[in-house]
Amino acid sequence: MSQKHVQLFIGRVLTDEEFRLRFLNDRRGTLAGLREQGFELTGSEIDALIRTDRRLWPAASRMIHADLQRCSLRDK
């Protein structure tokens, strides 16, 4: 069941700009918030997501078609 939540996280971080920015600014806090919302992420999954090269997320998101992206309307 946890693998499903890892996949949901990856999909969201790649397609939701605001969520991605929040994650990049506070990786541990963002993942803790997801756990509080019911995401079943193990400690080792959280550690692996935190240890993943932070450049991956914005780079991979640029490869996804814009029609599948949710852009932030906030000032950056």
pLDDT at 72: 64
Q: Judge whether 74 lies within some domain.
A: no
Q: What angle do CA 30, 8, 48 make, to 5 degrees?
A: 60
| Distance between CA atoms of residues 17 and 1, nearest Å | 26
Q: Judge whether 73 lies within some domain.
A: no
pLDDT single digits (tens) 5-64: 999 999 999 999 999 999 999 999 999 999 999 999 999 999 999 999 999 999 999 999
- What single letter denotes the amino acid at residue 39? F
Number of domains in the chain: 1
Q: Which domain holds residue 28?
A: 2-68
Buried b (16+ CB within 10 A) or exposed e, 59-68: eebeeeeeee
- What pTM, to 2 d.p., does this model score? 0.87
